[in-house]
Amino acid sequence: MKIKILLGGAVLAALSFNALGQGTPGPTGQGEVSYKNDVYPLIYDYCLNCHSPGGKGYNKSGLDMRTYEGLMKGTKFGPVVKPGDPETSTFIMLLEGRANPALRMPAGINGSLYKQHITTLRKWVHQGAKNN
């Protein structure tokens, strides 16, 4: 019984470690986050309404999120994604409300993205923001 308790504690510690965004990367803590399968569907659902030609966000910033290349190009003010650095990537800062809470993205929804969505996007940036 003591072995099960100790093992359970080790498993819990490992799960806690992954839940903090450390350890094995990926949306479920398993492997690499995929732009095509994990990131773009979130962009499609939550960002394209504003960040494509004719949208309010596109008109204000020039950020066109229809393609990987557009996202990586950034805005008329500069890049929004710093591969490998979610702490200083404007993309993540705006999603988390760290840049300015009034500019929290995505605009027009109550609150913010689900925490697991932000975690996925943060891990993708941390892993190098690859076009995979």
Q: Which pTM was predicted?
A: 0.76
| pLDDT given at position 107 | 87
Q: How many CB atoms lie within 10 A of CB 116?
A: 10
Q: What's 67's DSSP letter?
A: S
Mean pLDDT of the chain: 81
125, 91 Cβ separation under 8 angstroms: yes
pLDDT tens across 23-74, in order?
A: 333 454 568 999 999 999 999 999 999 999 999 999 999 999 999 999 999 9
pLDDT over 90 at 112, yes or no: no
Q: For residue 76, count CB atoms less than 10 angstroms from its CB and return exposed for 0-12, middle for 13-18, buried for 19 or more.
A: exposed
Q: What is the structure's pLDDT at 6?
A: 35
Identify the band that residue 111 occupies on the pLDDT scale cut at 50, 70 and 90. Answer: low
Residues in the chain: 132
| H/E segment holding residue 42 | helix 40-46
- Residue 113 is predicted with a pLDDT of 83
Q: Chain centroid to CA 54: how far?
A: 24
How far is residue 101's CA from residue 39's CA, in Å, rounded to a whole number? 23
In the prediction, which pLDDT does 23 show? 37
